[in-house]
Amino acid sequence: MKSPLFRPHFFASALFVALLFFVSACEEIPPLIDFSEPPPIDLTCSDKGKLAASEFSKTNTDFVSSELPEAQCKMVLIEEFSGVRCVNCPAGHETTAQILESRPDEIAAVTIHAGFLSEPYAENKEDYVIEVGTSLYDLFQTIAVPAAAVDRVKYEGEDFVSLINRNVWSGKANERLQLTPPVNVYTNFEYNPSTRELQVFVRAHYLKAFDASEGHLMSVSLSESHIVDHQLIPVAGGSSTVQADYVHNHVLRAMLTPASGISLDVDRVAGTVIDRVFSITLPDHWKVEEMEIIAFVHDATSNHVLQAAKKHIEEQ
């Protein structure tokens, strides 16, 4: 009598199951976003980062407050470099979008079009390259796109501030999220729809003292999302095509400071408050309801971002 293990129908069934496993194992697995150990979600993070427009001085003012606020949750800044002729940049955009979705109240992101792959096509509605974006591209030693500077830190083992490997962006952001910022940063605005003048208010409230030799800078950027325009994208078979209705998000439109920031050259003791005001008249084709302010304080020597704040603009 033959053993059941050698029955023809049993062997065929086993072979079929093995083939199914082999085929499924050969399916392409998309790159993983390394957020395996995120910090505990603090549901108060969004509240800690807010001040009403009426609470700002609305003039360039420095003073010392007798009360120290609670430290904000760390907000991490991702500056992603991109270009409309970059076939891999849509994958970079997706990576940034996933990180933002994971930590919406603790990640600020801006997309900077710069480098030789950012030259617009004849069909593009406009050129998204601006001078300050090119300055940042050079400052962070960007050698290719997509790339991203995460809190402007040059991490151990990396050759440049701009990280070419998009699969490490979330892990680096996660490292920075563990920090407690030494300064709280707040931002808000007033907008006049008839003149399209935007006034941006930024406050840095120091929670600890800094020596005068430790210079700090403040930078403010303005971005726009949901811009529909041409972008090179990959297609099946390893080819590419230009998509006319690609949706560009977080595109850097302007900086309200120089690319290097403005100096915060005041005595900084615990409780020091620095209020700064910035103004811009928005061009007619910018959609104000799709715009976001990102303000941040960074170290003048290392350029590391100490803390950032963001505010979506809505017509008032």
Is it the case that residue 296 has pLDDT exceeding 70?
A: yes
Is it the case that residue 10 has pLDDT exceeding 50?
A: no
**Angstrom distance (rounded) from CA 276 to CA 58:** 7
pLDDT tier at 42, thresholds 50, 70, 90:
low
Higher pLDDT: 170 or 13? It is 170
Residues 146-191 pLDDT 10s: 999 999 999 999 999 999 999 999 999 999 999 999 999 999 999 9
Domain 42-312 class, CATH top level:
mainly beta
CB 218 within 8 A of CB 202: yes
Report the predicted TM-score, pTM, of the whole model to 2 decimal places: 0.85
User: At which residue do the structure tokens 């941006």 appear?
Assistant: 200
Is it the case that residue 270 has pLDDT exceeding 50?
A: yes
Helix (H, G, I), strand (E, B) or coil at 99: helix
Tell me the domain boundaries of the chain. Answer: 42-312
Beta bridge partners of 246: 229
What average pLDDT does this structure show over 263-286?
Answer: 96
Is it the case that residue 62 has pLDDT exceeding 90?
A: yes
User: pLDDT at position 280, please?
Assistant: 98
